[in-house]
Amino acid sequence: MIHKFLTITNIGKFHDCKAAGDVSFQGITLLYAENGRGKTTLCDILRSLRTGDGNHIQGRETLGTSGSPEVEIRLDESNASFKGNEWSSTFPGIRIFDSTFIHENVYAGEVVEHEQKKNLYRVIVGEKGVALAHTVDDFDAQIRDKDSDIRAAKTKVAQLSPASIGADEFTILEADPDIDSKVATKEAELTALRRAGEIATKSTLSRIAVPSLPANLTTVLGKQLDDVSDTAEEKIRQHLAEHTSGADGAWLAQGTEFLKGDKCPFCSQSLALNELVPLYRGYFDDAYEKLRQEVSTLSKSVQSYGENGTTLPVKHAADENQRLIGFWSEFTDVDVPELDHESLFDAMRTLGDAALTVVKRKAQSIFEPIVPGSDYYPAIAGLNDQIALVSEYNAKVDAANLAIAAKKGQTSAGDKSKAEQELTVLQAAKQRHEAEAASACQTYLDAKSAKTDLEQKKEAVKTELDKHSSDLFAKFQKRINDLLGMVTAGFRITHVVREYKGRSPRSTYQVVINDVPVSLGDERTPASEPSFRNTLSAGDRSTLALAFFFAQLELDPELSGKIVVFDDPFTSQDLSRRTWTQQRICRIAKKAKQVIVLSHEPHFLQLIHDNVPSAEDKTLQLCRIGSDNTTITPWNIKDANRGDYVKDYTALREFFNEGDGDLRDIARTIRLVLEGYLRIKFIGQFADNAWLGDFITKIRDARAGDILEAVQPLLEELEDINDYSKKYHHKQNPLADSESINDGELRGFVKRTLEVVGGF
């Protein structure tokens, strides 16, 4: 509870306000003040105490002073001090109804805008709802911060990932232990697709065919001429040995072909009786000639075996294969070793030499079968070993050709663009799990996960807030309409609902007039369209704002711990609603921890005073001291509402503003108003039979610390006004009735009098 304002310095009209006398607050405190005397300033001080926001005070710093604003307030357990734009402690449980509440929560000027709807939502949902709404706002702020983190992290990820792969896709690429192999395979596939035309026309590998010896070699070697007698053969051999220098049967066979007639071509002797000639003819008949030709052909074939004629095709095929292997190895697995053709050729030459030796023997002994020598079969075995190696080579050529055929099929049907994208993904997957990218992705994923967690928490709180709001909105609408019904207002409200515009919730409603719902509208609503602005009077708007405030308090389960402040709650309302306002405040006073009512209407304060327990009631006033300083002083509400003072004060004001009233009566009323004012302001300081001159004497004689010391700055003004007004009172002037009156002069002193008492 607020017990006392100890000091208020350099804030608005409170130049140097210090507590003096009995100015402590009670459970119900009524503060009277003329307009412009500091009610709004006091509310802003309390609003600052509630929120801790020093701007409410700094904005009201007294102009033309050098000191800083300072406040000290005595609370229940300690003092709250404001210095250096900070409070030593705050008191959140203060609720204030004033123009600021109306402007912030109900309407601004004549319209209801988004901010009023948003703030009214918080009024309706109460402290629990506000706490939940603040939590939602906090989560929103954290989510916005996290969005900033996500954008920064995503930018970093994007810098490390391919342009064709988004950051989100990049971060979910999984680690693959075989990624290098897959990248290499896909690169080879793409290379093949890029060279598809060349692959389609490129030859496959050739099998190597090893040349062999003539197939009839052993057959020819084993042939013999069975119809030629051994005697003839022996005689021919003997003859060749005796008569030639190493001639062979071929020489004889050729010679017999040139015989003409029966005479010797050398000596012309008759050959008819020569026994050798028939032997020659039989020896060299067709069978012999055929065999001889076979041996001759065989000799030529064997003689070239292993030489260029038989090896060059093999070498060319092997070299071409090696060149093709170099090409195809770029695109597929070609496991074909280089052929050792030199070893093959050596084996061929070795076998050819051995075979040629045997054939020569056959040519010399053409009539008998020839068996190869001991070097022939090892040479065959050596060649067979090489042929086995060639067979292995050819098997690998066959396997390679299958892979080549498959590659040709793949490239002819392949999609280069698809392969490029697949390679990009593989390369990205590899890069994704390198140190820098892995760290950037983890930061991005952590930020997204944190945002998701915040969104889930926000949604849970928002769900709780929505349920809380739904429960209260129906109660709030009903209570508002009950309150409006008490004053027979010509309108009610309906469709009090929650809606979202942007991130924050807000409340909206419709005004029902003559059973016709009217939307609130805003400053952009045309004047021709019914809205809040043009369907409710100023008094209706004020009553609605007060009903909102009352409903908020009545639905607050923690009202018993609240301090409730009303600043001129009766302003702009019809007189018929005075009692309604007073009754609602009195009911709130029974439930709240403390109620403070500030008003410039003494009669309204009297209504409250008369309807609350006197033990809980305290009446104070904001009083001008000196030239323009405001302080808090005791206030006698009964004296303030005595009929004479109010009547006299009203007469002066109406004369000054309207020119109404008898001049002599007005001149005599000046003294009465000043005396009544000083009696009200300084209760118990002046005797009942004292008059203004006595008041002035007592004020002049006041000592330091005396409450009347505060009035001494007004002495000259009081003396001047008294000197003027006493001329028109019989007690001081027996000729008062004949004293002349100047209208302008009277008007000037009335003005000075009203300035002293603080109002026109």
**Residue 529 placed within a domain:** no
Residue 630 shares a structural domain with residue 671: no
Q: Of 120-124, 196-200, 488-492, 606-610, which range is least confident?
A: 120-124
Domain-ending residue, one of 408, 429, 448: 448
Residue 172 shares a structural domain with residue 243: no
Residue 746 shares a structural domain with residue 663: yes
d(CA 67, CA 17): 14
Residue 666 shares a structural domain with residue 734: yes
Residue 252 shares a structural domain with residue 295: yes
How many other C-beta atoms lie within 10 A of the C-beta of residue 572? Answer: 16
d(CA 532, CA 520): 5
Residue 698 shares a structural domain with residue 726: yes
Residue 632 shares a structural domain with residue 650: no
Domain-ending residue, one of 304, 335, 357: 304
Residue 588 shares a structural domain with residue 681: no
Output the average pLDDT for the chain: 84
Tokens read off for 159: 């810098």
Give Cα 321 distance to the centre of its chain.
Answer: 61
Query: Which tens digits make up the pLDDT trace of 680-723?
Result: 778 778 887 888 999 999 999 998 888 888 889 999 999 999 99
Kindly write down the DSSP assignment for every residue of 333-356, as one continuous string: ----PPP-HHHHHHHHHHHHHHHH
Query: Which tens digits make up the pLDDT trace of 224-270?
Result: 766 445 555 666 667 767 777 766 655 666 666 666 666 776 676 66
d(CA 470, CA 297): 117
Residue 330 predicted with pLDDT over 80: yes
pLDDT at residue number 280: 60
Residue 703 shares a structural domain with residue 746: yes
Domain-ending residue, one of 398, 425, 448: 448
Percent of the chain residues topping a pLDDT of 90: 35
Count: domains in the chain: 4
Please answer whether residues 252 and 236 qualify as being in contact, where contact means their C-beta atoms are separated by less than 8 angstroms: yes
Integer distance in angstroms from the first to the last C-alpha of the chain?
35
**Any residues with CB less than 8 A from the CB of 645 and at least 6 apart, and which?**
639, 672, 673, 676, 677, 680
Kindly write down the DSSP assignment for every residue of 702-757, as one continuous string: PPTT-GGGGGGGGHHHHHHHHHHHGGGSTTT-TTGGG----HHHHHHHHHHHHHHH
* Residue carrying the six token digits 């054939």: 359
Residue 735 shares a structural domain with residue 664: yes
Residue 572 predicted with pLDDT over 60: no
Number of helices followed by number of strands (H, E) in the chain: 27, 14
**Residue 73 placed within a domain:** yes
d(CA 580, CA 570): 10
**Residue 136 placed within a domain:** no
How many other C-beta atoms lie within 10 A of the C-beta of residue 470? Answer: 11
**Residue 716 placed within a domain:** yes
How many other C-beta atoms lie within 10 A of the C-beta of residue 23? Answer: 20
pLDDT at residue number 227: 47
Tokens read off for 542: 């004020």
**Any residues with CB less than 8 A from the CB of 744 and at least 6 apart, and which?**
none
Kindly write down the DSSP assignment for every residue of 288-303, as one continuous string: HHHHHHHHHHHHHHHH
Q: Burial of 672 by CB count in 10 Å (0-12 exposed, 13-18 middle, 19+ buried)?
A: buried
Residue 691 shares a structural domain with residue 745: yes
Of 487-496, 608-617, 696-705, give the range with the top mean pLDDT: 696-705
> Can you give the residue range of the structural domain that contains 296?
214-304
Percent of the chain residues topping a pLDDT of 70: 88
Tokens read off for 518: 């009217």
pLDDT at residue number 421: 87
**Residue 549 placed within a domain:** no
Strands 563-567 and 594-599: parallel
d(CA 142, CA 134): 12
Kindly write down the DSSP assignment for every residue of 615-665, as one continuous string: GGEEEEEEEEETTTEEEEEE--HHHHT-HHHHHHHHHHHHHHHH--S-HHH
| Residue 627 pLDDT level (bands cut at 50, 70, 90) | low
**Residue 395 placed within a domain:** no
Q: What is the CATH number of the domain that holds 33?
A: 3.40.50.300
Q: Which of 485, 467, 329, 480 is nearest to 407 (CA)?
A: 329
pLDDT at residue number 360: 87
Query: Which tens digits make up the pLDDT trace of 438-471?
Result: 999 999 999 999 999 999 999 998 888 878 777 7
Residue 746 shares a structural domain with residue 687: yes
Please answer whether residues 635 and 641 qualify as being in contact, where contact means their C-beta atoms are separated by less than 8 angstroms: no
**Residue 110 placed within a domain:** no
